[in-house]
Amino acid sequence: MKYLIDFIEKKDVQKSKIYKHLKCTAQEAKLLQYICRRYVKGDEEISALEVLRDNFSKGEYLYLQQLPMLKKIMDMGWLTQLSFGQVKTHEVSLLEILNASLTPSIALLRLLEEGSLEISLPDSKPYTDHLEYLQDQFDVVTLLHNIATFKQNYTENSLGIGRLKNKLNLLTQRIQERLKVTQEPIIVEEFFKEKELDEREQRIFLALLKEEYSGGEGVFREMNTLIELISFDEYEKIKNRALLEEGSKLITEEIIDYEEILNMFGGISRSFYLRDGIMQQIIHPKKKKKVTKLKLDMLIKEQDLFEYLKPTTTLDDVILHPKTKEVLHTLIKQVDKKVYKKLKSWGLKGSKNIDARIIFYGVAGTGKTMTAMSLAKTLKRPILSFDCSKILSMYVGESEKNVRKIFDDFKSLSKKAKVEPILLLNEADQFLSSRTKGEGSSADKMHNQMQNIFLEQIERFEGILIATTNLLGNIDKAFSRRFNYKIEFKKPNKKQRVRLWQNMLPQNADYEEGFEIEMLSSYELTGGQINLIIKNSAYKVAIREESIFMLEDFVDEIARELGSSFDGSKSMGFKV
């Protein structure tokens, strides 16, 4: 503690051993000396007003004229203010400082303890392996992050930022010097040369690699943090976003990828990661990867149980009842990783996966399957569909085995796939309906047994499962309790039917003069029915020599559709 005692005891502060390192005037150093004396006597927080009153003339509030001096010392990074949270010191007005509580910064305390903040690095020796090299590079990433964090609280010309930048430059030079004397090739450097990555791309890569080695879902995966690591002003932040957008080298050459999920605040967050093949190449350069994760569409070719669906729309593209859409967006927020971590910390989540068991119910044609696919695209997950009508078998006992096979095969495919898929059970009415009470027939017993196995599999399921059904009223209560989301799909109202007609009608076709979508939307049809009517009308119009869509074409198909419907839709009374 010799430097601390020397500093607080010196009558002439300029003769103290640390004065030259403070880079400030004698009067500014005296203020620091006063604060440090108070600090060692137990005053951890000292009022800025008290500092000024004790050191300058009080007459006519002359001490207020010294506020700029106090602010300069704070901007240099020697003092920390405890009253403004994360507000930068240069964004605080002079009068706000007057009521601040001040304390010596970590940098000042370190200077008082060690006598110097000058950086000395070991001699440049060859790297013995790529892990030594990575440790130095990870230190660079940490320094870049510290600089970005420091800038949130202090001005750009702060001594603290200057020291961090100096250390960054020295460490970067040292890495280059060690590489020059290293005989064995360093796999990461070879990779950088092969891919021709510039310095910014290299730093993004190293930050993500640091996350992989630390095994976390940490801060260096977030887009804004990665941009801050390679940007030193606001203009660079805007320009450097292109390095993490679609079309950038890192993404197009499949070096990195990202997950895009709606976060709890309703915005979209991106979490970046290194591709599996790249990770294997860097972390285990001498080992061959034993387990290869495959794309799901390749795995599906090897089996005939599931159908691989390729979503083309997100939830923003689907026309749904406002209440239905609201529930779906709430669901997305609740499967966000940040929400999952919070629930896990409360002891409400046990598995490693984000899970949800969902029932979509409503009349046919209201968009249940399309919404499931759109939900999968929004969550950036593939989706596997199983038609539940396939489960019935003419042989007693086979249906029970088939139920287990659905979940066993899905689990097996999930382990082999790069991204865990969503399981869609279409037309799941027979699974979910109330079980037969009493002895019943052998068929009833088989059905009950099949449902018991299904119930057991639902209970153990990890991941996201969506079951669709036309009727919810007959659902067994035991199943109802296992599903944590039950989302109703109502028939579209007139406003939604107008949008459905507008979206589904052929855009490049010719229509008769005075063609009115408003008239067509007056008929209470589901989206599925509108789609079918448009297709049937198109086949009829296409064979004509003059292929012009007439309002009458659609009216005829609407009459045919509603005539074969059992839902009591609006009767026809419209004439052309």
Token pair for 105:
């910064």
Q: Tell me, letter by letter, the H, E, C secondary structure of 126-195.
A: CCCCHHHHHHHHHHHHHHHHHHHHHCCCCCCCCHHHHHHHHHHHHHHHHHHHHHHCCCCCCHHHHHHHHH
Q: What are phi and psi of 291, to 5 degrees?
A: -110, 120
Higher pLDDT, 263 or 492: 492
206 token code pair = 């190293």
Cα gap 515→538, rounded to integer Å:
15
Task: Give the lowest-confidence range in 323-337, 431-445, 495-509.
Answer: 431-445
- 31, amino acid identity: L
What is the model's pLDDT at position 153? 60
Residue closest to 421 by CA, chosen among 299, 563, 282: 299
- Quickly state the pLDDT bin for 520 (edges 50, 70, 90): very high
Q: Span 489-513, mean pLDDT?
A: 90
Cα 283 to Cα 187: distance, rounded to the nearest angstrom: 9
d(CA 22, CA 117): 10
Q: Is the dihedral of CA 16, 21, 25, 27 positive or negative?
A: negative
The token duo for 310 is 């390729």
Please state, rounded to an integer, the average pLDDT across all residues of the chain: 81
Q: In whole angstroms, what is the distance from residue 514 CA to residue 497 CA? A: 19
**Antiparallel, parallel or unpaired: β 79-81 and 101-104:** antiparallel
Domain residue ranges of the chain, discontinuous segments joined by +: 2-114, 130-283, 296-489, 494-563
pLDDT digits (tens, 9 = 90+) for 101-138: 888 888 888 889 888 776 555 567 888 888 889 999 99
Per-residue pLDDT at 574? 32
Quick one: pLDDT at residue 215? 66
- In this structure, are strands 510-511 and 548-549 parallel, antiparallel, or unpaired? parallel
Could you tell me the CA-to-CA distances from 11 to 26, 30, 56, 471 in Å, in that order?
A: 11, 9, 17, 88
pLDDT band at 259 (very low <50, low <70, confident <90, very high): confident
Task: List CB contacts of 146: < 8 A, sequence separation 6 or more.
Answer: 164
- Cα angle 205, 206, 207; round to 5: 95
What are the Cα distances from residue 29, in Å, to 35, 47, 69, 492? 10, 17, 11, 74
**CATH architecture type of domain 296-489:** 3-Layer(aba) Sandwich (3.40)
Strand, coil or helix: 3: helix
Q: In angstroms, how far is CA 150 from the centroid of its own chain?
A: 25
pLDDT category of residue 568 using cuts at 50, 70 and 90: very low
CATH number 1.10.8.60 given to 494-563: yes
Model pTM greater than 0.85? no
